[in-house]
Structure 1
């Protein structure tokens, strides 16, 4: 409580509203684009922890760990919504799941041991690459006419799981553009990738939880690198709004939203690079 006492109640109220708004946006994005919400949650938490003057050594770890925990229930709701609409490829999911799980275990353990600056740099670089893909790749542009062999699918799954766990994001951020690059239908890509968030979130969150146990300089209400206050404020709204996003995914052309989202990711990456340059000077 001493930690919170230094902040004005109105400021804390604004902070809570920001977390609630994050939950709404992340839920809609999770359902609409299959991104699991983490690509929104991580940068928001990172900047909120910066405003709270949380130690830079643990700031990004807290953002990633908390995001991974929120992804689990959000992805369950989003995946169920897509499955009810027949947009989930169960056979492909069975092929990808073991490799994604193995990658997420490795990524969760590896990411929790990285320095905060390295973790931020990885997130910024991948976010920038995803933004460029969303904004610049023409509709219908593919690498191949069909999905690759199962062996290569598993290799791609391991890469999706490991990088996503390090970044604190669901499988859709990388999974959807990768599947789309192999001429896979976008709505089935979104639906199938939404289920990968659960597979990534559980081992990833556990890795960050264990790695942060007993460490100093974490905000109140934290277990390991998972902040329960952020989790409690974000999750209920992501679970409520994920079905809305899934519903919109089957009714609208998401091209304009992808462009806006790409702009958001580019600005987030630029801000993180700016913070990294400022801290190193």
Structure 2
């Protein structure tokens, strides 16, 4: 199966379980769905499995969005129990974020593979640098802008997140901290945003990838029962147990860290991911 030996499959399965644990921990500690971890891990997995470059990145992103669903739910419940979530922002973002996710899923059906990588590089790179070298004086205001501006930003977050396979945490964290919201509140609120993005996003990538199985009949990783559209059931099933287990642990660690340590950790993480996909763009 997949053209590789049972021992290689066992190693891949073990890597996915470890990747799931890291994804869940990141989801809790940074308020992100974990997609920024899951996408690179899945990218390497599908490269080994011989998935063509034309469909590899969207398959990673769709699978990541599906994986984010349970990790976001568990992370959000942990942060909510600590009273750190700003539910008023989530209510404002609910509709525009979902609309943005749906639009991004439609784009994913027709977009070239390098578009997904480019979005990853730009957004993750800018976010990481801002956290690493930014200063507290770098603010757009002391309070959030008017509701229409918040709504438009929610739509943008939805579109970009659906093209990156993330839960929106890195984008919403940046938005909220630019308007003087504490990083811990931004992290907690972002965990709820992951739920708004991951569920419609996963459904959208099923739609986007549905015709691909017929176009690539020799690629087992795209065929049922191993995949539904652009969602790999193998990746989904192996990531879920350890990611759900680690999400609340990461959330508890986040509340124990100082503001600056949380910013440095998140910024370094985003910059590493950005450089990884920049390298992929250069050598492709």
Relative to the length of structure 2, the TM-score reads 0.91
Matched, 1:270 2:267: no
Equivalences for 1:44-55 in 2 at 5 Å?
44-55=41-52
User: 1:97 maps to what in 2?
Assistant: 94
- Are residues 50 and 161 of structure 1, via their aligned partners in 2, closer, same or farther at CA, if it must alter by over 3 Å? same
CA drift at 1:101: 1.2
User: 1:134 maps to what in 2?
Assistant: 131
User: 2:247 maps to what in 1?
Assistant: 242
CA drift at 1:254: 5.8
Matched, 1:15 2:12: yes
User: 2:113 maps to what in 1?
Assistant: 116
Q: Which ranges in structure 1 are unaligned for 5 or more consecutive residues?
A: none
CA drift at 1:269: 2.7
Equivalences for 1:59-98 in 2 at 5 Å?
59-98=56-95
CA drift at 1:243: 0.7
Q: Is the 8 A contact 2:64 2:165 kept in 1?
A: yes
User: 2:53 maps to what in 1?
Assistant: 56
Alpha-carbon distance in structure 2 between the residues aligned to 1:65 and 1:278: 24
Q: 2:229 aligns with which of 217, 224, 227?
A: 224
Alpha-carbon distance in structure 2 between the residues aligned to 1:268 and 1:210: 27
Superimposed CA distance per residue, residues 200-223 of structure 1 (whole angstroms, 9 cap, x where no aligned partner):
111211111112114223515111
CA drift at 1:276: 2.5
Q: Is the 8 A contact 2:105 2:208 kept in 1?
A: no
* Larger CA deviation: 262-271 vs 60-69: 262-271
SS for the counterpart of 2:54 is: helix
CA drift at 1:257: 5.3
RMSD, aligned α-carbons: 1.7
Superimposed CA distance per residue, residues 102-123 of structure 1 (whole angstroms, 9 cap, x where no aligned partner):
1111112212321112222222
SS for the counterpart of 2:67 is: helix
- Are residues 208 and 152 of structure 1, via their aligned partners in 2, closer, same or farther at CA, if it must alter by over 3 Å? same
- Are residues 256 and 89 of structure 1, via their aligned partners in 2, closer, same or farther at CA, if it must alter by over 3 Å? closer
Structure 1: 4+ residue segments shifted above 4 A: none
Relative to the length of structure 1, the TM-score reads 0.92
